[in-house]
Structure 1
Amino acid sequence: MTEVYRLATLEDAPALVHVIYEAYVTIRELELQWPAAHADLPLVQDNIVNNECYVLELDGTITATLTLSKEPLARWGDSGLPFVKWFAVDPRYQGKGIGTKLLTWVEEHVIRNRLGAPAVTLATAEKHPWLLAMYERKGYERIQSIDRGNGDGTMHLLRKIVNRPLFEAMYGAQFAKER
């Protein structure tokens, strides 16, 4: 099986609409106000153009995607750390470690090695039945919570340290809990 990790192109947009829409069914059922849950072709194209949208292809088929945002995190207070959003795995490939492979590749090759960032952030809803626990199993820790009053309930900002010595040098050891 051939694995290819790469940035998405506009030609990938129709396939990404399918992957994201199918993967976000639970988000729609929970009526969470996440743009990706209702992503159409123009919104996916905009995401590809204005952010770093990565894909994992298996034998030429896009199986997973995630986006590294280029937008400041105004609602959380911009930490200056990279922020992951629009993480989706085609349901036909869920439960096989495909998403973990893509997330780990972006954490290591893009965030730690290319960007030289000490950590990465992402956000998820407390009321989602499994996302918060999944990210915590992958080494993310809750660092901030907010309820914007839009029906999503409590949202959690999570962080994963990808370069502990650099993180401690920048922020101090008191902020770098041992895992």
Structure 2
Amino acid sequence: MQFKKIENADVAEKLTSLLHQAYAADVRLGIHFAASSVTVENVRKHIESTPTFILEDDDGTIVATTSVRLPWSDNPSPFGLPHLGWVATNPDYQQQGFSKQIISWVVTNYVKPELYTPAVTIGTAADHPWLLSFYKSLGFKVIDITQKPNAPRAAYLISIFDEHRTRLIDDAYLQKTLSKQGLSTY
């Protein structure tokens, strides 16, 4: 198995298929993340504009994936921080810890050393039966739950690496939600 950053959109079809397969379980629960029906063209655009990572087995099968939405991109996070998205595991490899591995690898090998960020966020459906507790088990803490039109309630979580630097981020929504949760204050 090998972790790697996708350098071009050659794997867009394989990644689209993985996303559709992985998010099908959520659709069956009545939770419709955009990744569950994303098009190959939109995956290509995503790869070109958003750092996207995969865990690939020896025969080239994509086992797991996640991407890092950047605050300055066309699809920024809700906060002034990098935001993990499109966390997905190939259904043939689920329940083996691969989502945990790719999240940990991306944070340790890209988010912290390359972006020098003091924290990272992730989001999920607030009412998802297992994802919220899964992200909490990785050390993420809920900072906000919101309701957007025509969407499931969203839960936003944060993993803070440097509280002092996180308090210095000039993002009113971030500071308000951190303060409200007692995680950080000015």
Asked if Structure 1 and Structure 2 have the same fold, meaning a TM-score greater than 0.5 normalized by the shorter chain, the answer is yes
Deviations 1:104-161 (A, max 9, x none): 0111111111100011101111221111111011111000111113241x21110012
Aligned length: 167
| Alignment-derived partner of residue 173 in structure 2 | none
Does residue 39 of structure 1 match 2:35?
Answer: no
After TM superposition, the structure 1 stretch with the greater mean CA deviation from structure 2, 47-56 or 134-143, is: 47-56
* CA distance in structure 2 between the aligned counterparts of 1:29 and 1:127, rounded to whole angstroms: 14
| Alignment-derived partner of residue 171 in structure 1 | 167
Code of the residue aligned with 1:89 in structure 2: it is: T
Does residue 4 of structure 1 match 2:3?
Answer: yes
Query: Residues 64 and 102 of structure 1 are in contact (CA less than 8 Å); yes or no, is this contact kept in structure 2?
Result: yes
Q: Quick one: structure 1 residues 150 and 6, their matched pair in 2 at CA, closer, same or farther if it must change by over 3 Å?
A: same
| Alignment-derived partner of residue 143 in structure 1 | 143
Does residue 107 of structure 1 match 2:107?
Answer: yes
Query: Residues 5 and 102 of structure 1 are in contact (CA less than 8 Å); yes or no, is this contact kept in structure 2?
Result: no
* CA distance in structure 2 between the aligned counterparts of 1:108 and 1:22, rounded to whole angstroms: 27
Query: Residues 21 and 37 of structure 1 are in contact (CA less than 8 Å); yes or no, is this contact kept in structure 2?
Result: yes
Q: Quick one: structure 1 residues 51 and 25, their matched pair in 2 at CA, closer, same or farther if it must change by over 3 Å?
A: same
Deviation at 1:33, TM superposition (A): 4.1
Q: Quick one: structure 1 residues 123 and 170, their matched pair in 2 at CA, closer, same or farther if it must change by over 3 Å?
A: closer
After TM superposition, the structure 1 stretch with the greater mean CA deviation from structure 2, 64-73 or 9-18, is: 64-73
TM-score calculated relative to the size of structure 2: 0.81
Q: CA RMSD in A?
A: 2.0
Deviation at 1:27, TM superposition (A): 2.3
Code of the residue aligned with 2:115 in structure 1: it is: L
Deviation at 1:8, TM superposition (A): 5.0
* CA distance in structure 2 between the aligned counterparts of 1:143 and 1:81, rounded to whole angstroms: 13
Q: Quick one: structure 1 residues 92 and 115, their matched pair in 2 at CA, closer, same or farther if it must change by over 3 Å?
A: same
* CA distance in structure 2 between the aligned counterparts of 1:139 and 1:170, rounded to whole angstroms: 16
Which 5+ residue runs of structure 2 have no aligned equivalent?
169-181
Q: Quick one: structure 1 residues 24 and 15, their matched pair in 2 at CA, closer, same or farther if it must change by over 3 Å?
A: same
* CA distance in structure 1 between the aligned counterparts of 2:95 and 2:32, rounded to whole angstroms: 25
Deviation at 1:56, TM superposition (A): 1.0
Q: Quick one: structure 1 residues 85 and 4, their matched pair in 2 at CA, closer, same or farther if it must change by over 3 Å?
A: closer
| Alignment-derived partner of residue 89 in structure 1 | 89
Code of the residue aligned with 1:175 in structure 2: it is: L
* CA distance in structure 2 between the aligned counterparts of 1:4 and 1:135, rounded to whole angstroms: 20
Code of the residue aligned with 2:167 in structure 1: it is: Y
Code of the residue aligned with 2:183 in structure 1: it is: F
